[in-house]
Amino acid sequence: METVFVGIDVSKDRLDVHVRPRAETFAVPRDGAGLSALVERLRGLEPARIAVEATGGFETVVTAALAAAGLPVVVVNPAQVRHFAQAVGQRAKTDPIDAALIARFVEATRPELRPLADEATRLLADLVARRRQIIEMIVAEKNRERRAPPGRIQRSIARLIAALEKELASLDGDIDAGVRGSPLWRAKEDLLASVPGIGPIIARTLMAELPELGTLSHKRIASLAGLAPYTRQSGHWKGQSRIGGGRKSVRSALFLAALVAGRHNPVLKAFRDRLVAAGKPKMVAVIAVARKLLTILNAILRDQTPWQNA
């Protein structure tokens, strides 16, 4: 029996589908009726993997519908798919071609299936992402305010900043109510925040955007966060290992946490000081602290045991 792989290109109004190795293609509307038809058709194919490219939110309803039907759906990184297209020499781009490329990518890479976040976790992730967007807008407006001439423009910017700060406070209230109103999330936040260097904002970012924390090995969770170093070596040449990929928002949060923990967490401060004393650049030391901090947080949630200095 042939192993079937499916690629789905998601756009605002429709879903283009490609089935490998049959080279079967079809499209359905991205609405309730279209999703129902898609589920029924894919059930009959018994695919090994169904890949949907992350498209800034349009894929959420599709993946939720497929996962609810018990189908093996994975969300793939669009940057990885683009690199794959370059590697195989695929330059043409249309929605059906993209669906075929996604199917080819998932057949070649066979990404691991992971449970999708539940509705409450997705909502928390949306709120955390929106909070981040508003902070970026506030920073941008404050930068404009410094450059604007006195008068009407500055007053306009000041009004907008005030409105954004009011919305930020409202979002913080929604996030706090959601987290503290859930016994499970409250317990998870308390465990994460028991680590010196981890405050409520960092803890909630990790809960929302790294729900796998505490369920994977330290190497796999570091890879998801984009903190796993990759080797650069060819023949006798050996370059400096680097990090990259993964979830940028998680990596940024852990980097900020590492800056604080490297000064105020006794264990991680000693770890950082040893690296600096050994001649490591300060940025390398901070990244190493972030990776070690992530390993600690992963173990804390896995074992359900709060931080201990010993």
Residue, of 243 and 162, whose pLDDT is higher:
162
Distances (CA, A) of 1 to 40, 48, 104, 163, 236: 20, 12, 19, 60, 46
Lookup: tokens for 77: 């990184």
Amino acid at 227: L
Residue, of 8 and 245, whose pLDDT is higher:
8
Distances (CA, A) of 131 to 76, 128, 167, 170, 190: 25, 5, 9, 10, 21
Kindly indicate the confidence band of residue 116, based on its pLDDT and cuts at 50, 70 and 90: low
Cis peptide leading into residue 21 (ω within 30°) = yes
- Predicted confidence at residue 244, as pLDDT, reads 57
Residue 56 three-state SS:
coil
Residue 51 three-state SS:
strand
pTM of the model: 0.66
CB 78 within 8 A of CB 51: no
CB 42 within 8 A of CB 91: no
Closest CA to 59 of 80, 69, 73: 73
Cα separation, 46 vs 275, in Å, equals 51
CB 207 within 8 A of CB 156: no
- Residues making up the chain, counted from first to last: 310
CB 177 within 8 A of CB 193: no
Note the pLDDT tens digit of each residue in 249-297.
888 999 999 999 989 899 999 999 999 999 988 888 999 999 999 999 9
The Cβ of residue 28 has, within 10 Å, a number of other Cβ atoms equal to 18
- Predicted confidence at residue 142, as pLDDT, reads 94
Instruction: Identify the DSSP state of 218.
Output: H
Helix (H) or strand (E) holding 286: helix 282-303
Lookup: tokens for 297: 């947080």
Note the pLDDT tens digit of each residue in 172-205.
998 888 888 888 788 889 999 999 989 999 999 9
Q: Check pLDDT > 60 for residue 121.
A: yes
Q: Pick the range with the lowest mean pLDDT from 17-26, 37-46, 54-63, 69-78.
A: 54-63
CB 70 within 8 A of CB 94: no
- Predicted confidence at residue 237, as pLDDT, reads 42
Q: Check pLDDT > 90 for residue 210.
A: no
Q: Pick the range with the lowest mean pLDDT from 23-27, 106-110, 144-148, 306-310.
A: 306-310
- Predicted confidence at residue 203, as pLDDT, reads 92
- Predicted confidence at residue 70, as pLDDT, reads 84
Kind of pairing, strands 24-29 and 73-76?
unpaired
Cα separation, 287 vs 270, in Å, equals 15
- Predicted confidence at residue 145, as pLDDT, reads 92
Residue 112 three-state SS:
coil
Cβ contacts of 171 within 8 Å, gap of 6 or more: 127, 130, 131, 134
